[in-house]
Homo-oligomer: A and B are copies of this chain.
């Protein structure tokens, strides 16, 4: 419920509660608004920071192409704006990719790191999925966008048992989404096309938790294992019967894993 200026753009953010700071970085189709139901839990022991990345939610939608280093600079500027030397970060999907950049390239700025449904690089396969999304976004047709981009982020079982909810969301998207929003999604998607931080994973100094979903069809389990293998000492939890959008499908598991990891002094546990 505040903004700051970054490289002539207006960046929207929220700042809730008190305690060790925890910054949330959103997936492509998300914004601060997506976290409304989570704010009480996430701010119960922490200062919860959320930000709409460039081309997301209420932040500026730009008129040029960029790559993810722009979002990385934005995150650093946001921390500077808040006069925070360090914060814990929880990144989801695209937000996890930005979180990897920040943690690997600026390790002194990150306390603990959670990477949920994130990949260390955009594989050829994921790039093609992005291309299919771009076709749908370019149509500016809400139904084509929804059918192409949304069901794939859920597990089939969840989707089957939430059809009314899904239909409601489709109508909502069709009504609410403007060409500007679709074009923003497309720029976000293209900005991730060259994402490849595999070479920087070993530079991450933050204690890290990777959260994966059994039925993640966007950043599937082999991507998750690669990520865990690349980050020294990374912990790994799998959410069963769950798709890419873990926070929506399994909010209890997601919240427990994130907050338990962020708020427990686990680094002190030494077995014998």
Contact = CB atoms under 8 A, between A and B. Distances in A.
B253 A235 contact: yes
Contact of A159 (B123, B235, B256, B267): B123
Nearest to A250: B235
Given A236-B241, A238-B240, A124 B166 contact: yes
A147 B215 CA distance: 21
A29 interface: no
Interface stretch (A34-42, A58-66, A81-89, A90-98): A34-42
Interface string A11-52: 000000000000000000000000001101100110000000
A128 interface: yes
A148 B268 CA distance: 31
Contact of A215 (B45, B128, B131, B220): B220
A252 interface: yes
**Interface extent on A, as a size class?**
35 or more
Given A148-B132, A159-B124, A222-B157, A209 B264 contact: no
As for how many copies of this chain the complex holds, the number is 4
A229 B206 CA distance: 32
Contacts of A38: 269
A268 B41 contact: yes
A136 interface: yes
A248 B271 contact: yes
Contact of A266 (B156, B169, B240, B255): B255
A156 B73 CA distance: 30
A91 B228 CA distance: 28
Contacts of A209: 252-253, 256
7 contacts: A129-B152, A135-B148, A156-B220, A236-B241, A255-B269, A256-B261, A263-B263
Given A40-B268, A235-B256, 8 more contacts: A41-B269, A129-B151, A207-B252, A225-B240, A235-B252, A252-B261, A252-B267, A256-B261
Which are the 7 A-B pairs with shortest beta-carbon distances? A260-B260, A256-B260, A256-B261, A125-B156, A128-B151, A125-B159, A132-B148
